[in-house]
Amino acid sequence: MLPEFLPGRCARLLAVRHAPAPGVALRGAVLCFVPFAEEMNKSRRMLTLAARRLAADGWGVLIVDPHGTGDSGGDFVDARWEIWQDDYAACARWLQARHPGRLVLWGVRTGALLAAELAGSAALAVDTLLYWQPVTVGDLALTQFLRLRLAAGLMDGSKETAAGLRERLNAGESLEIAGYELHPALAAALERSRLLPPPAGVPVLWLELVSEAGRAPGAVAQKLLTGWRKDGHELRCETVVGDSFWATQEIAVVPALVEATAAMLAGVALPAGAGA
């Protein structure tokens, strides 16, 4: 595990790189697109466990604190969707230069929205998209985030509403929510984002957590996946029993999700000429 300070569009970024295990055939690079706000903090343990497991299989993995979050430069109020996109693209190129081979964009929750947009741009040549419980509609993620403020307000008798908070954002006001100062520009970008279909020829590996064995992914995910399959996209979707670690009160881990991820990526072909 190697901490790295990388140049970002507006400030330096803290990233943690997990280098491929010695003597293992190099598979390529995996760039993690982390969840939004507090979900990122709740997910750190799981991301680290997965990164270590993938590195043991020959992947170079990079987990970045986006601009305005964690130990990267800037404050959360400075964060913008387009800054994150530019920074992730630069981080992907940096990672590939050190771990050449396949490029996998690993989107976790809202991170999948950013990964999908970047994969569909001309900025990178992406080989595979890996999603953990992806958010498919950014508007719903914004609503869930605003509810954190509403829930806190119930304790002090506040009579705020989700509609009222959105009106204030639309009027250009930043809002403090669960310790994060949300800028209206970032809120608007999240609100209008959608999980875009993959580019032609780029397979999607999709993992969903469920409460019990045998349960299918949620209805929204199933509808989206069905549409993508009809359009000829290559998809693999699996469910894993486990807690919603990004939202639990205490830090939770789901080892089965880590192993399922490693198994899925084991099916990604080695780059030509790769060897131990």
126 shares its domain with 144: no
Supply the pLDDT for residue 39: 96
Write out pLDDT tens, residues 84-117. 999 999 999 999 999 999 999 999 999 999 999 9
7 shares its domain with 89: yes
Q: How far apart are CA 91 and CA 30, in angstroms?
A: 11
89 shares its domain with 164: no
Amino acid present at 26: L
pLDDT per residue as tens, the chain (276 positions): 889 999 999 999 999 999 998 999 999 999 999 999 999 999 999 999 999 999 999 999 999 999 999 999 999 999 999 999 999 999 999 999 999 999 999 999 999 999 999 999 988 899 999 999 999 999 999 999 999 999 887 777 778 899 999 999 999 999 999 999 999 999 999 999 999 999 999 999 999 999 999 898 888 899 999 999 999 999 999 999 999 999 999 999 999 999 999 999 998 866 655 544
Residue 145's domain comprises: 139-192
170 shares its domain with 248: no
Note whether residue 9 is domain-resident: yes
123 shares its domain with 161: no
Note whether residue 276 is domain-resident: no
239 shares its domain with 183: no
DSSP single-letter state for residue 127: -
105 shares its domain with 235: yes
Q: How many domains does the chain have?
A: 2
Q: How far apart are CA 262 and CA 234, in angstroms?
A: 18
Note whether residue 275 is domain-resident: no
Supply the pLDDT for residue 267: 85
Supply the pLDDT for residue 272: 52
Q: How far apart are CA 249 and CA 240, in angstroms?
A: 20
7 shares its domain with 30: yes
- Name, in order, each residue with C-beta under 8 angstroms of 207's C-beta and a sequence gap of 6 or more: 130, 131, 132, 133, 237, 238, 239, 240, 257, 260, 261, 264
CATH label of the domain that carries residue 255:
3.40.50.1820
130 shares its domain with 143: no
Note whether residue 82 is domain-resident: yes
188 shares its domain with 106: no
180 shares its domain with 205: no
Note whether residue 271 is domain-resident: no
DSSP, collapsed to helix, strand or coil, labels residue 51 as: helix
Supply the pLDDT for residue 174: 97
34 shares its domain with 150: no
Supply the pLDDT for residue 270: 64
Full-model pTM: 0.94
Note whether residue 93 is domain-resident: yes
Supply the pLDDT for residue 156: 75
For 186-218, give one letter per residue: b (16+ CB within 10 A) or e.
bbebbbebebebbeeebbbbbbbbeeeeeeebe
Supply the pLDDT for residue 2: 86
Q: How far apart are CA 46 and CA 40, in angstroms?
A: 10
